[in-house]
């Protein structure tokens, strides 16, 4: 848990009371969770805007962790859609709480039973990168046959985006570093560009959608690569938060535009991602696994900006 905003070291292990589910809630014994960029954003609150959600001066919810996979240990008296013993996974960026051995959620929240073909540490990382990618791909209304570039194809969002875009029938050009070319190709990318050797801006190809899943480019630089009504989306706010302003202005001007949709997730999205996993169309990439006791190390690694897909915390004894 953390009681103040700051660097990885503000996270510390403490004994807490086991939560008791209300009548419409389930008690989940967490077997696997992740440390991801959303946790880092809420822990550091270095973007002031985050404090509007996380608490102005100190964190409102002191146990982070938004992704989880585990087992239903108890249910409230009104719960009908889950039973004790169900293996579940999901996402909670409202009250968080997955960096603990137990958490509660309402049965109607963003959780469902685990895909039959994955185990806990593979199911926990389905939702964070998966739902950001899904929101952005839906906002861009990507259709089969469109040309899409994904920059940062080895992040949690980028590696999910490549797989989801292939599922929606797009032609995907993915940008990543030398050591991960084969991995990104295995995710389904049609073409892979090594950013350490080639600047994708200079490749000359045109795209319907440029998805900068690691927030390292800008609309200005990517504009020449966009087709006439092409769309640019970055996962970062950009210089002086320009992507927010551009998302307000460019759609009014017509032509090439920037999107900055507010990410959302609900139970239907979690079920949709589960179905993709069961069809073999999506599998989250798992990088390092840590124990809960090593969570500060996990935060430090995630903040190197070098993780490949997802960093998992394993709580199974």
Ligand X SMILES: NC(=O)c1ccc[n+]([C@@H]2O[C@H](COP(=O)([O-])OP(=O)(O)OC[C@H]3O[C@@H](n4cnc5c(N)ncnc54)[C@H](OP(=O)(O)O)[C@@H]3O)[C@@H](O)[C@H]2O)c1
Selected binder of ligand X within 11, 137, 150, 213 (CB under 6 A): 213
Burial of 268 (0-12, 13-18, 19+ CB in 10 A): exposed
Scan residues 129-148 and list those touching ligand X (CB under 6 A): 129
Is residue 39 within 8 A of residue 54, CB to CB? The reply is no
Among residue numbers 248 through 277, which ones bind ligand X (CB under 6 A)?
none
Size of the site for ligand X (CB under 6 A): 27
Selected binder of ligand X within 33, 34, 38, 110 (CB under 6 A): 38
| Contacting ligand X within 4-23 (CB under 6 A) | none
- Nearest-angstrom CA–CA distance, 89 and 109: 11
Burial of 264 (0-12, 13-18, 19+ CB in 10 A): exposed
233 binds ligand X (CB under 6 A): no
Q: Residues 161-200 vs ligand X: string with x where CB under 6 A?
A: --------------xxx--x--------------x-----
Q: Closer CB to ligand X, residue 123 or residue 180?
A: 180
* Span of 154-162, 241-249, 276-284, 288-296 interacting with ligand X by CB under 6 A: 154-162
Question: Strand 207-212 vs strand 25-35: parallel, antiparallel, or unpaired?
Answer: unpaired
CA distance 83 to 76: 10
Edge-to-edge strands, sheet with 171-176? 191-194, 171-176, 147-151, 207-212, 226-234, 257-258
Contact between 225 and ligand X (CB under 6 A)?
no
- Asked whether position 210 contacts ligand X by CB under 6 A, the answer is no
Q: How many other CB atoms are found less than 10 A from the CB of residue 246? A: 21
Structure token digits, residue 118: 């994955």
Q: Check residue 236 for interaction with ligand X (CB under 6 A).
A: yes
Residues at the interface with ligand X (CB under 6 A): 36-38, 41, 129, 151-152, 154-158, 175-177, 180, 195, 213-216, 235-236, 305-308
């Amino acid at each position: 848990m953390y009681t103040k905003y700051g660097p990885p070291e503000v996270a510390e292990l403490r004994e807490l009371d086991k939560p008791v589910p209300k009548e419409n809630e389930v008690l989940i014994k967490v077997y696997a969770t992740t440390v991801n960029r959303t946790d880092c954003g809420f822990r550091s609150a270095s973007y002031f805007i985050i404090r509007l959600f996380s608490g102005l001066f100190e964190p409102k919810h002191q146990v982070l962790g938004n992704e989880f996979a585990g087992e239903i240990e108890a249910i409230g008296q009104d719960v009908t859609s889950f039973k004790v013993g169900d293996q579940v996974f999901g996402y909670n960026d409202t009250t968080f709480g997955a960096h603990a051995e137990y958490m509660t959620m309402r049965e109607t929240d963003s959780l469902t039973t685990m895909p039959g073909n994955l185990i806990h540490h593979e199911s926990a990382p389905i939702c964070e990168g998966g739902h950001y990618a899904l929101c952005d791909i839906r906002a861009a209304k990507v259709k089969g046959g469109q040309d899409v570039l994904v920059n940062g194809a080895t992040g949690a969002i980028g590696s999910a985006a490549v797989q989801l875009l292939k599922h929606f029938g797009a032609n995907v050009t993915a940008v990543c570093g030398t050591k991960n070319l084969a991995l990104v190709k295995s995710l389904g990318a049609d073409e892979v560009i090594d950013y350490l050797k080639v600047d994708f801006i200079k490749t000359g190809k045109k795209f319907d959608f440029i998805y900068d899943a690691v927030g390292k480019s800008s609309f200005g630089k990517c504009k020449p690569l966009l087709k006439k009504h092409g769309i640019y989306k970055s996962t970062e706010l950009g210089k002086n938060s320009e992507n927010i302003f551009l998302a307000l202005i460019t759609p009014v001007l017509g032509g090439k535009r920037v999107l900055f949709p507010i990410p959302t997730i609900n139970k239907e999205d979690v079920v949709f991602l589960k179905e993709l996993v069961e069809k073999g169309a999506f599998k989250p990439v798992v990088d390092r696994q840590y124990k809960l006791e090593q969570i500060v190390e996990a935060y430090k690694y995630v903040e190197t900006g070098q993780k490949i897909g997802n960093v998992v915390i394993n709580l199974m004894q």
